[in-house]
């Protein structure tokens, strides 16, 4: 997957990406890297709390 040099425009192809994986596999980190033009060094990890059964 190479996105270097991509620009929005009328002739730009669009792709849909489905990202699957287990817990703590880096899905959020991967997604954040391709949301903007800069690489993110650190980010807050989403924490989901569920009640104990």
Residue 14 banded pLDDT, cuts 50, 70, 90: confident
For the chain, the maximum distance between any two Cα atoms, rounded to a whole number of angstroms, is: 52
Question: What was the pLDDT predicted at 33?
Answer: 75
* C-alpha span between 23 and 13 (Å, rounded): 31
Residue 53 banded pLDDT, cuts 50, 70, 90: low
Q: Do residues 43 and 29 lie in contact, with contact meaning Cβ atoms separated by under 8 Å?
A: yes
| pLDDT above 90: percentage of residues in the chain | 0
């Amino acid at each position: 997957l190479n996105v270097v040099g991509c620009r929005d425009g009328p002739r730009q192809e669009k792709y849909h990406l489905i990202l699957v994986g287990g817990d703590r596999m880096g899905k959020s980190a991967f997604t954040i890297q391709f949301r903007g033009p800069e690489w993110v060094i650190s980010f807050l990890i989403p924490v989901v709390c569920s009640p104990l059964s």
